[in-house]
A and B are shown apart, each in its own frame.
Chain A
Amino acid sequence: MVFDPYSFLEFAKEIHADKDYRKASAWRTIAGRAYYASFLSSRKKLQELGHSFVATPDVHKEVMAQVKTRNSGTANKLYMLRDSRNDADYNLMSQITSDQCSKLLKLAELVFQEVASFK
């Protein structure tokens, strides 16, 4: 069975709502899952539209570029999610808050909606 990228977003929302996980590691996990849910759904949609992507780290760049050719606003949102994910995974000094996560989750939802309309 093929994994649905939206499951990552649902999981991120569950962590965000869970009172047992109100800590920095949870916020960082949410930022990561919000990006990967959006990235994977974008890649999946683009593949459905006939694009193929190589399995290298460059795939993130290529997906972003392809999204941009269709909707630069969506690419901005995806870029922002990646930037937040990079911050969450690499920058130990950054402050990632619950409030920021709720915005990232909304942003990811928007990416899902916008990407779904790609033709």
Chain B
Amino acid sequence: MSSATPTKSEELERIPRHDPKSTPERVAASIVRYVEKALTEAYLSVTPPSPAAPVSAKLQALRLKRLPISRRNQTRKRMETHDKLLGDLYRMHYSLDGHAVSGSDITPKRSPSTNSFIPSWPIQDGVPYQTWPSTIPTVDSLETRPAGLKLPYSSPASSPKTTRVLSFEYDDRWSTRLRDAGFDELAKALEQSAREFAEKSQTFWGFTLVEESDPEIPSWKRNVLRISIDTLDFDEKIRLWDEIDKQIRERLAMAANDYPDLRQDVKQFSESLFLKIDL
């Protein structure tokens, strides 16, 4: 290091001199903010690699089946680690890009105040108007994110800055089911059609696929796609709700034709599927 370039510790030591009246806590908070900003900028300058195209992913899965069991397990583990890392990179990139409160990092639950599935909602330009937990993404908020992130089945049609789909989540039961190739295909068809519909709309969307049961008929299990949109108009919500339902069911019917082995699974899934919108 040349004498003309001060070390980071020398720079840090100089900070209090600029404002001698500052308390150590205030100086520390300023440093933290500076580091967070620098890290965010550095991270956003790097584009994560694209996830495998659906066809490549399918081929990869088929090739995996042909491997001897020990090698298959080893390869599967490696692929899962890779997928998880890639998912984390996308999630972090997306979160740092102004979508920190998209709901993606939150276990979906109704907000007691609004009875909404998502506690707060970004406004049209993608900038949150409520702070949960903060409008500024922090390293802490990323570190506390629960594990188990799933990669999106399809990349957003547009860049993360303009995507209409703020989150697409699966509950724990569905996250476990996705390890099964059949359920994976069903979820893929569902998620892709929902995303396609949402991207063509003029509103922001949040999706969560969950399994629900009935307090009076516990054996009646339903797969429910919970939808949140930022449209306030009741009639418009109803229109979008009906249309997305139609598109998803058409896509599921196509999936049944594309994968005859899954026809029965698709039928059962469609019968148990309901779409619920946050009115």
A: which residues have CB within 8 A of B? 57-58, 60-61, 65, 68, 72-73, 75-76, 79-80, 82-83, 86, 90, 93-97, 100, 103, 106-107, 110
Contacts and interface: CB of A to CB of B under 8 A. Distances in A.
Given A72-B245, A75-B274, A94-B115, 15 more contacts: A60-B216, A61-B217, A73-B241, A73-B242, A73-B246, A76-B241, A76-B274, A76-B276, A79-B224, A80-B279, A86-B215, A86-B216, A95-B112, A97-B115, A110-B238
B64 interface: no
B25 interface: no
A93 B110 CA distance: 11
B230 to A, nearest CB: 16
Interface residues of B, number: 25
B274 A79 contact: yes
A96 B115 contact: yes
Interface in B238-279: 238, 241-242, 245-246, 249, 271, 274-277, 279
8 contacts: A58-B220, A72-B245, A73-B241, A76-B242, A76-B275, A80-B276, A80-B279, A82-B214
Contacts of B216: 57, 60, 86
Contacts of B277: 76, 80
Nearest to B217: A57
Nearest to A76: B275
Interface in B54-98: none
Contacts of A106: 234
Contacts of B245: 72-73, 76
B234 A103 contact: yes
A61 B220 contact: yes
The 9 closest A-B pairs by CB, nearest first: A73-B242, A79-B274, A103-B279, A90-B215, A76-B275, A61-B220, A73-B245, A57-B217, A80-B276
Contact of A94 (B110, B214, B224, B242): B110
Nearest to B220: A61
Contacts of A83: 212, 276
Contacts of B271: 65, 68
